[in-house]
Structure 1
Amino acid sequence: MDILNKTPRPLKISLPGGKVLRLGPKMTGQISPKAAEHPPVKKLLEEGVIEIQGDGGTRSTGGGSNSDSANGSNQSGSSGGAAMRRSGDR
């Protein structure tokens, strides 16, 4: 889930587990659905200081597939780079 700071000042939002989300003015961040139910977050939401935008489920799934493909290319690139150095040293 995306969270938007609607104020012109930075915010420090308390999240479950003792975590803190810092949001700059007019910036967005991501929180879990569980964090959206946390009382300090609900209070800011009711005051109109923050806005929760949509469900991030589809975005995180798409991001996961992109990161998997990036990791695959990084791994093959690392081993390919090492092989090229060896052949260049000979």
Structure 2
Amino acid sequence: MEIVNKTKRPLKIPLPGGKKLFLVPGKSGQITPKAAEYPPLVKMVEAGEIEITDGGRSVGGGSGTVGGVSPATKNSSGGTIRHIGDR
């Protein structure tokens, strides 16, 4: 889910587990569906300070992968070898 700061000031948004999300004016961040139901967050939505959307994911999978390759490795030039032990 996506959360957007609708104010003209930076916000410190409380999240479950004692965490905080810092959002500058007009920018967005990602939260879990569980966090969207958190009472302090609901109060901020009702006050019009933030807006929560479903994120606009596409219907075809929504995991951010294309053909089993993650976006981070899609354009890389080959695999990465992990070295273990003394070098």
SS at match of 2:62: helix
In structure 1, runs of 5+ residues without a counterpart are: 80-90
Q: CA deviation at 1:22?
A: 0.5
Residue type of the alignment partner of 1:51: E
- TM (normalized to structure 2)? 0.70
String of CA shifts for 1:9-61, please: whole Å, max 9, x gaps. 000001001111000011001111100000110010000000112x2484683
In structure 2, runs of 5+ residues without a counterpart are: 82-87
Instruction: Give the structure with the larger helix fraction.
Output: 1
Q: CA deviation at 1:74?
A: 5.6
CA distance in 2, matches of 1:72, 1:23: 29
Report whether the alignment pairs 1:26 with 2:20: no
Residue type of the alignment partner of 1:33: P
Aligned pairs, number:
76
SS at match of 1:8: coil
CA RMSD of aligned residues (A): 2.6
The residue number in structure 2 matching 1:61 is: 62
SS at match of 1:69: coil
CA distance in 1, matches of 2:13, 2:63: 27
CA distance in 1, matches of 2:34, 2:46: 17
Report whether the alignment pairs 1:15 with 2:15: yes
In terms of Rg, which structure is larger?
Answer: 1
The residue number in structure 1 matching 2:85 is: none
- TM (normalized to structure 1)? 0.68
Map 1:1-90; keep pairs closer than 5 Å.
1-53=1-53, 55-56=54-55, 58=57, 61-63=62-64, 65=65, 69-70=69-70, 71=73, 76-79=78-81
